Amino acid sequence: MNIEVRLYAGLRAESVRSSGDVFSVPLAEGATLSDLLAHLGIQPDLVHLAIVNGQILHDRAARLADGDRVALFPPVGGG
């Protein structure tokens, strides 16, 4: 299956497989959000927010489906 991924802020630099702002990632059927992070080489604690198909996903063990759109955000600070 293929997942569309968007990485924001510093996560682009963390990924070993990023090829731009939006890219497709092939994963095995039944892969989870945790599997996606491992495939991308991103440490789970670096991801503060995951949005799948426009919905916030809190469960990293949730299964992804072919064609899902996943946006990953790091913690953000400012002042």
The per-residue pLDDT of the chain, averaged, comes to: 90
Domains of the chain from N-terminus onward: 2-73 (3.10.20.30)
The answer to whether the beta carbons of residues 36 and 68 sit under 8 Å apart is: no
The answer to whether the beta carbons of residues 33 and 5 sit under 8 Å apart is: no
| Selection from 31, 30, 19, 14 nearest residue 72 by Cα | 14
DSSP annotation of 34 = H
The answer to whether the beta carbons of residues 5 and 24 sit under 8 Å apart is: yes
Owner of token pair 């072919």: 66
Question: Does 60 or 20 have the greater pLDDT score?
Answer: 60
Per-residue pLDDT at 76: 79
